[in-house]
Structure 1
Amino acid sequence: MYKKIKFLVKKFIERNASKINHEEVINTIVKESEISVGYFGFLIVANLIALLGLIQNSAPVIIGAMLISPLMGPILSFGYAFISGEKNIWWKSIKKLILSIFLTIVIAAIVTIFLPLKNITSEIISRTSPNFYDLLIAFLAGMAGAVALCTKKNYIIIASGVAISTAVIPPLSVTGFGIGIGSFKIASSSFGLFFTNAVAIIISTCIMFLLYGFKPRTITGADISALKRRITYLSIVLFIISIPLMYTLYKSVTDIKLRMNIEKILKQEFDKPGISRLSYFNLQKKTNSIDLYATVNTTKYIQQDNIKTLEEKISKEIGYEVHFYIEQVKVQPGGLKEISIKEPRILQKTSPEIIQESKLAIFSVVKKSINKIEEIISPSRVDNFSIGFQEKIPYIFLTLKIKRDTPISEEQVQWLRKMLETDLSTPVELSIEISPFVQPLVFDKGETSITDEMKSSLLTLREIYKENNQILIILESIPESVYPYKKRIKLATERLKNITAILTKEYGIPDKNIKTIISKQASHRAQIKIKVSVE
């Protein structure tokens, strides 16, 4: 069987090799490996278009960037050099690729820093969660590019150029975006996607060049051995990077199945003709639990006991602790009916009742928008908010009191304001007040033990960690100035040790999520300042 397959592959290579003008293809590859101002000009323009398309969440704009991206050339040149072993093309293509990657990331990062809005859109997020399908897309794109180059068919060259750019330009632009906003997670995840795609494209390119009869110019035993080693090493790299991608794909499929299972249970419970119907549901998955939100149109009120029973049923079915939040919309059985009212009796409401109802209605609408904001600014929280109106000004005056240890930039304030205006459909004058998650812990002279009041305030950190296990807790110990240097440093170290022990042993926060610092500046009273940030 193996010999038969080997014979068929050999015949296929011989038949296709005779149809290809190898010298013409090689000349094209040599030209593509050369560095030129025009190449980098097109690359910069494509990068900027892709970056703006990603931030605007516009797929057509991103596709436009792919149409003019010239990155296909050096990648195919590298694939050819990998097969032929021609060192001159090899080094030229590597140099061109490295410069292209560096320039694309740096320019995207610089432009992002100066952009007024830095929205993390779904198009950006999709480039930070690579899976095995992305690897397959890149592999097929590389095959198409090599076929286009060898057959010299323009329509295939254009299409394959777009396909290859799909796999490399947007991830590099997102890498620069991540650096620009200071998010290592976004930058590293998107660069991992680029690296995965690049390796897959190079391997598929090598395969197609082999099938079209390209090989080392001088065929010796050493050349063949070197070629086999190169292909083996590259295949091992591809296999290694495909393992986490398979896991990501498995996780995505698991999440989809989880959602479908929950939807099935909800529909079984609520889709009852003439009685109730599930109109909407969404879920938010946390570390060990799921928050489930549902809206149900119903002709009669669903009792709280039934909701609790359903919550327990879903928890048992999916293996997660479920917190179920349901919104019931009362509807008319059989649809709207004409009702004849002879003499309607109007119930007069008192002023306090009118004010209270208006207040509850306004607060309910604003609260929904604030819930969205909290998801975005996590682990920060909106601790409280206030709303004001003026008779002759068409604005809502909204003040958010946010628990947060880092300041909010003017750009972020404007972005939050626009988000609120979109949700509320009215102009908003937004002001934000920042207060720390935990107030500084102040110690008496020479004291290092942690009081019950201090422990109680540290509970906030446990709740934040449960919501987002990526947080970093920075403990800065400021020693008292009344003692000599060695003693105050010893006391400051002991305080840090005691607080760290409470956070790790009693509150279950890992050591890797805690960073301790002893301040060089002393104070009249010893204290520990606590700051929470996202890694």
Structure 2
Amino acid sequence: MLHLRVVCPPEHTTEVIGILDAEPGATHLIVLRGVAVAPEGDVVEADVAREAADAVIERLCALDLDHVGAITLEQIDTALSDAADKAAEAAPGEAADAVVWEELLSRTGEESRLNATFLGFMIIACLLAAVGVVTDSAVTLVGAMVVGPEFGPLAAIAVGLVRRRRDLVSRAAVALAVGFPLAMVITAGGTFVGEWAGLLDVTAVRGGHTVDFVYDVGVFSLIVALLAGAAGMLSMTSAKSAALVGVFISVTTIPAAGYAAVAAVLGEWQRCLYSIGQLGLNLVGIVVAASLVLLVRKRTWTSKDNGRPLSTG
């Protein structure tokens, strides 16, 4: 279930109540008149089954409430109510299969922003990957995969392509175009300093190691990227977000970036280029698979995108 709160001008309150009262998947309807201050108006609240939320939001946006008022959604972890159970049963479909498109746009828009936090995670993940490469530690590489924040912008690009949101695509592309090169340059500098200080024996990388799969580009690299992109987008568009962790540790985006930085310091340009190729293959594969998943799930698309600008906060 999702908790819906609508701030609306008084002249729209009756229509909002009618929309929610007529929706079988909505319950626990509450009306608070005159309590909203900014923007001024009434507040209408209800609990809505996830599978009914997209249609409800479409009807509310048709009243222009996303501009003259506000519409917010929150996840309800526990609801002990017979009325909530009946609403969930009355709503069409299954909650896990439901896509709340406005929620997806908001989530990917936020996770695709280029900011200090995103860059910090990207740099830390790339440095961890470099340590994993130099020490031949697959466990450290897995840690780098989990820390890496790159799936958010990749998912945003897929959503932007399918919903034709150029602003979302450009924001995510900028985050990746800045984040990966910056992280790789800093990682190369850190590798050079570590070697100079005697902390890292980067010459050990020249031998055969268990982490050499990072730069070994092949058909299975593409298969894994496609499967990971599909699983990641399925997780983001449903209530089963736990699968994202498996996505993070199945693709070699961050490890490839870290390996490329270390190889560049060593002058191993072939391995560096192979690693960059691995990185590019994984990025493209994830976006393609995620976009295909969204196209398949497009049958639940209830309305055209209303073109609201992405949040900058």
TM-score computed with the length of structure 1 as normaliser: 0.36
List runs of 5+ in structure 1 lacking aligned partners.
1-13, 220-535
1:114 alignment partner in structure 2: 193
2:224 alignment partner in structure 1: 137
Q: Which has the larger radius of gyration?
A: 1
Q: Percent identity?
A: 21
Matched, 1:157 2:244: yes
TM-score computed with the length of structure 2 as normaliser: 0.61
2:163 alignment partner in structure 1: 84
Tell me, yes or no, if the aligned pair for 1:83 and 1:216 is still in contact at 8 Å. no
In the alignment, residue 171 of structure 1 is paired with which amino acid?
A
- The change in CA–CA distance for 1:80 and 1:216 in structure 2 (over 3 A counts) is farther
Q: Distance in 1 between matches of 2:187 and 2:210?
A: 16
In the alignment, residue 190 of structure 1 is paired with which amino acid?
S
> What displacement does 1:15 show?
6.2
RCO higher in 1 or 2 (8 Å CA, sep ≥ 6)? 2
Q: Distance in 1 between matches of 2:184 and 2:124?
A: 13
What do residues 223-265 of structure 1 show as CA deviations (whole Å, max 9, x unaligned)? xxxxxxxxxxxxxxxxxxxxxxxxxxxxxxxxxxxxxxxxxxx
List runs of 5+ in structure 2 lacking aligned partners.
1-91, 196-200, 306-313
Query: Which residues of 2 match residues 52-63 of structure 1 at below 5 A?
Result: 52-63=131-142
In the alignment, residue 206 of structure 1 is paired with which amino acid?
S
Q: Distance in 1 between matches of 2:140 and 2:190?
A: 17
> What displacement does 1:16 show?
7.7
Secondary structure of the residue aligned to 1:212 is helix
Higher strand share: 1
Q: Distance in 1 between matches of 2:170 and 2:183?
A: 20
Tell me, yes or no, if the aligned pair for 2:145 and 2:252 is still in contact at 8 Å. no
1:174 alignment partner in structure 2: 259
Q: Distance in 2 between matches of 1:217 and 1:106?
A: 43
What do residues 158-187 of structure 1 show as CA deviations (whole Å, max 9, x unaligned)? 222333xx3201011111112111221111
> What displacement does 1:204 show?
0.4
> What displacement does 1:152 show?
3.4
What do residues 431-465 of structure 1 show as CA deviations (whole Å, max 9, x unaligned)? xxxxxxxxxxxxxxxxxxxxxxxxxxxxxxxxxxx
1:68 alignment partner in structure 2: 147
In the alignment, residue 185 of structure 2 is paired with which amino acid?
V
> What displacement does 1:55 show?
0.9
Matched, 1:148 2:235: yes
Q: Distance in 1 between matches of 2:303 and 2:182?
A: 33
Tell me, yes or no, if the aligned pair for 1:124 and 1:174 is still in contact at 8 Å. no
> What displacement does 1:203 show?
0.6
> What displacement does 1:216 show?
11
In the alignment, residue 85 of structure 1 is paired with which amino acid?
R
Number of residue pairs matched by the alignment: 204
Q: Distance in 2 between matches of 1:46 and 1:218?
A: 37
RMSD in angstroms over aligned alpha carbons? Answer: 2.3
Query: Which residues of 2 match residues 243-258 of structure 1 at below 5 A?
Result: none
Tell me, yes or no, if the aligned pair for 2:215 and 2:274 is still in contact at 8 Å. yes
Q: Distance in 1 between matches of 2:210 and 2:157?
A: 29
Query: Which residues of 2 match residues 227-246 of structure 1 at below 5 A?
Result: none
What do residues 189-243 of structure 1 show as CA deviations (whole Å, max 9, x unaligned)? 1101111111111110001111222779759xxxxxxxxxxxxxxxxxxxxxxxx
Query: Which residues of 2 match residues 331-410 of structure 1 at below 5 A?
Result: none
Higher helix share: 2
